[in-house]
């Protein structure tokens, strides 16, 4: 692939680009039983795509560094490019189908996910080091995908890096790979469930004990907790106009954080921006369907930024 603005990015994102099938049920079925699906839709998804598209829509020069299958829909390719994402390192790979997620949410907004890795999960086998954009960026965000591939790239990237393995921390990452990756990174992002594996791997009692300039742990409607140079701050959840689908809310949070930095806010203020962007995404089905523009974010975040 190619296209998109190929000027130097502020942010480069590594992670899955996926086809998301989003299902809603009133409750999850018991083993060997079934329940009716009340809503069903198909969207562009994947952590890499979600973060990159939302960040680009917020005005951040963003590159997406990822592999997709030969079957990747042209409509989704166009959507990414039209959002303004730099796509010269978005590569189609023969022999793989594109990553796919089946995301099931219940009435409590809890989720269960079935995921096909696609080429991003086996990037070490592909033999192509996507480093052109990251080497020019101010920030690089590593999320889901092949841990060994990401760790192999990190020594050749000279800017601020964040590790964000998401749900894959439980089954693809381990104590060794987490420690090796964090040795290169300035920031760690996780949610309250992922934090359990992270603290086990690192042998600490809580995420606040991780010695990095920024550690962020999100907790959905309870907001998020940030440790900035060891100092704890609680970032409240920003109310949405309605809550329909939590898919992609965490990815939108990450995109909002980088948008805050790009637009001149400090780290703590940027985390308030992050929570605000997340509040828009839950208002519709799909990870990027209701991604806001920058002006809307600033308007909704206003009173919360004044409290920082």
Mean pLDDT (whole number) for 225-252: 89
Please tell me the predicted confidence (pLDDT) of residue 304: 87
| pLDDT, average across residues 55-84 | 96
Q: Say yes or no to pLDDT of 232 above 80.
A: yes
Query: How much is the pTM?
Result: 0.90
Residue 282 confidence (pLDDT): 83
pLDDT at 54: 96
Highest mean pLDDT among 42-51, 110-119, 223-232: 223-232
Angle between helices 267-281 and 249-262 (to 10 degrees): 140
- CA 51 to CA 267: how far, in whole Å? 18
Residue 261 has a pLDDT of 98
Q: Is the model's pLDDT at 208 over the cut of 60?
A: yes
Whether the per-residue pLDDT at 2 is higher than 90: the answer is no
When pLDDT is cut at 50, 70 and 90, the band that residue 43 belongs to is confident
- Structure-token pair, residue 192: 């309250």
Mean pLDDT of 108-114: 86
Give the pLDDT of residue 111.
Answer: 85
Q: Does residue 308 or residue 77 have the better pLDDT? A: 77
CA pair distance 164, 187, nearest whole angstrom: 9
- The pLDDT tens digits for 241-292 are 888 767 778 999 999 999 999 999 999 999 999 999 999 988 877 657 778 9
Cβ contact 283:242 at 8 Å: yes
Paired tokens of 11: 């942010």
What pLDDT score does 109 carry?
76
Q: What is the overall mean pLDDT for the chain? A: 93
Q: What is the mean pLDDT of residues 301-308?
A: 86
pLDDT at 83 over 90: yes
Average confidence (pLDDT) over 88-107: 94
Tokens found for residue 102: 């089946």
């Amino acid at each position: 692939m190619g296209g998109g603005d190929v000027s130097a990015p502020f942010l480069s994102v590594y992670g899955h680009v996926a086809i998301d099938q989003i299902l809603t049920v009133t409750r999850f079925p018991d083993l060997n039983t079934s329940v009716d699906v009340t809503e069903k839709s198909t969207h562009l998804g994947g952590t890499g795509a979600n973060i990159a598209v939302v960040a680009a829509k917020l005005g951040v020069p963003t590159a997406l560094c990822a592999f997709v299958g030969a079957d990747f829909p042209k409509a989704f390719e166009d959507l990414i490019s039209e959002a303004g994402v730099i796509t010269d390192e978005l590569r189609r790979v023969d022999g793989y189908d594109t990553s796919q997620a089946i995301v099931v949410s219940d009435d409590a907004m809890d989720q269960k996910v079935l995921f096909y890795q696609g080429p991003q999960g086996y990037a070490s086998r592909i033999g192509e080091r996507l480093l052109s954009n990251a080497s020019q960026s101010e920030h690089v965000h590593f999320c889901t995908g092949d841990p060994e591939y990401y760790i192999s790239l990190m020594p050749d990237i000279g800017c601020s890096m964040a590790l964000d393995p998401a749900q894959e921390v439980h089954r693809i990452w381990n104590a060794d790979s987490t420690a090796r990756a964090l040795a290169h990174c300035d920031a760690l992002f996780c949610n309250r469930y992922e934090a359990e594996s992270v603290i086990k791997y690192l042998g600490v009692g809580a995420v606040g004990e991780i010695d990095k300039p920024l550690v962020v742990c999100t907790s959905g409607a309870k907001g998020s907790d940030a440790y900035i140079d060891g100092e704890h701050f609680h970032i409240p959840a920003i109310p949405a106009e309605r809550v329909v689908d939590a898919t992609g809310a965490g990815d939108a949070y990450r995109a909002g954080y980088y948008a805050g930095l790009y637009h001149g806010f400090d780290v703590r203020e940027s985390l308030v921006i992050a929570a605000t962007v997340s509040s828009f995404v839950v208002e519709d089905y799909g990870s990027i369907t209701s991604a806001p523009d920058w002006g809307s974010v600033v308007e909704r975040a206003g009173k919360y930024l004044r409290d920082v």
